[in-house]
């Protein structure tokens, strides 16, 4: 990476105090109707269209071959078709489902996250796309179907051990969606990644219909392509999977590839309701060169407090309404 400007600028987009305030706010916002939550977040994205999004080192991706292509296709939003892809350059392509396990600090949340993707092509643009079918997290998150959510996987673990292992244990409270791995990095080697999947694919990230009904909510990531140019090819013989119950009937019993990034990745993510709309890698490279972090509006404590007051007022109205209803009985 020739310049540290984008790296530093993205990190500075993340203010721990503001993130803490947003975590506190979620308890109030959660009492609002989801439509109101979504509208409020989309209005705020017009003022702050980007979030700083830093994926911390040792993010790990499990590539599973899809065994039920027809069912997988039904999990995609309208306008997307299942596509073949490959994790590393020069390998044969296949229909893959991908599980990511990572920790992140961002402008809006801080914590562990696991995501289940299918690789598809956006029929309108021809861009390869990562489609988020489902996700789990030990911190707050947002999607159109669930609004501003609290943790869906409390107590999640995504970390590293002194003996050179990546250790992850993420599960919802019922254990119906769960992934637990212990992956040794011994013998792992850096290999060139497939640019279409990792670079082009992150220009067109979409949500599946269960998370965003009626609207794929396509958004883009802005990033230095060098951070998506190579990663560790983790030997499968050092991988131990305690359990994997997440769409396990859709994929092969064991992953075909495990990819691990031993460094942080620095991204600008479109805020909910915003879309950068890149159509090519050249547009991405130009955006990275031209971004002016000094002029990018950021999520602020002032806007967080305003939203908190609105949420508090709405919560009080709900409580008063319930009290009146009970008194009427």
Residue 328 lies in a domain: no
Contact indicator for 173, 155 with CB cutoff of 8 Å: no
**In a domain? residue 306:** no
CATH number at residue 104: 2.40.400
Residue at 312 is within a domain: no
Q: Is residue 316 part of a domain?
A: no
Query: For the CA atoms of 196, 197, 198, 202, what is the dihedral angle to 10 degrees?
Result: 100
Q: Residue 159: which residues within 8 A CB-CB, separation 6 or more? A: 103, 166, 167, 168
How far is it, in rounded angstroms, from Cα 155 to Cα 138? 6
pLDDT in tens, 209-226: 999 998 898 999 999 999
SS3 (DSSP) at 277: coil
Measured distance CA(254)–CA(95) in Å, rounded: 14
Taking phi over 0 as left and psi of -120 to 50 as alpha, with beta for the rest, 273 belongs to left
Residue 315 lies in a domain: no
| Element spanning 180, H or E | strand 178-184
Note down the domain range covering 220: 5-14+49-297
The total of other beta-carbon atoms located within 10 Å of residue 71's CB is: 12
Is position 269 within any domain? yes
What is the number of domains present in the chain?
1
In order along its 329 residues, the chain shows pLDDT tens digits of 556 999 999 999 999 998 988 888 777 666 667 677 666 666 665 667 789 999 999 999 999 999 999 999 999 999 999 999 999 999 999 999 999 999 999 998 999 999 999 999 999 999 999 999 999 999 998 888 888 889 999 999 999 999 999 999 999 998 899 999 999 999 999 999 999 999 999 999 999 999 999 889 899 999 999 999 999 999 999 999 999 999 999 999 999 999 999 999 999 998 776 678 888 999 999 999 999 999 888 776 555 455 555 555 454 444 334 333 434 44
104-117: string of b/e by CB count within 10 Å (b at 16+)?
bbbbbbbbbbbbbb
Per-residue model confidence as pLDDT tens digits over 283-324: 999 999 999 999 888 776 555 455 555 555 454 444 334 333
Model confidence, pTM: 0.89
């Amino acid at each position: 990476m020739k310049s540290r400007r984008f790296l530093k600028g993205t990190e500075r987009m993340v203010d721990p105090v503001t993130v803490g305030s947003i975590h506190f706010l979620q308890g109030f916002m959660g009492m609002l109707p989801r439509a109101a939550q979504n509208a409020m977040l989309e209005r705020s994205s017009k003022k702050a269209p980007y979030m700083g999004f830093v994926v911390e080192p040792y993010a790990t991706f499990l590539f599973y071959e899809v065994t039920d292509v027809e069912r997988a296709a039904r999990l995609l939003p309208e306008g997307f078709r299942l596509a073949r892809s490959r994790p590393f350059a020069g390998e044969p392509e296949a229909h893959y489902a991908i599980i990511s396990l990572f920790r992140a600090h961002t402008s809006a949340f801080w914590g562990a996250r696991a995501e289940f993707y299918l690789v598809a092509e956006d029929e309108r643009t021809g861009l390869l796309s990562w489609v988020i079918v489902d996700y789990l997290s030990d911190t707050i998150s947002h999607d159109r179907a669930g609004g501003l959510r609290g943790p869906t996987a409390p107590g999640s673990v995504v970390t590293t051990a002194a003996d050179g292992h990546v250790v992850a244990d993420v599960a919802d409270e019922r254990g119906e969606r769960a992934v637990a791995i212990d992956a040794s990095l011994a013998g792992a080697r850096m290999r060139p990644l497939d640019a279409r999947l990792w670079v082009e694919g992150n220009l067109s990230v979409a949500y599946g219909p269960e998370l965003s009904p009626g609207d794929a909510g396509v958004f883009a990531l802005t990033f230095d392509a060098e951070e998506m140019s190579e990663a560790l090819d983790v030997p499968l013989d050092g991988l131990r999977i305690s359990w994997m119950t997440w769409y396990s009937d859709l994929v092969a019993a064991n992953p075909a590839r495990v990819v691990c990034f031993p460094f942080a990745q620095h991204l600008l993510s479109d805020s909910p309701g915003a879309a950068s709309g890149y159509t090519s890698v050249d547009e991405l490279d130009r955006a990275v060169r031209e971004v002016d972090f000094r002029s990018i509006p950021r999520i602020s404590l002032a806007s967080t407090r305003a939203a908190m007051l609105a949420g508090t007022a709405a919560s009080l109205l709900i409580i008063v309404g319930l009290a009146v209803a009970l008194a009427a009985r």
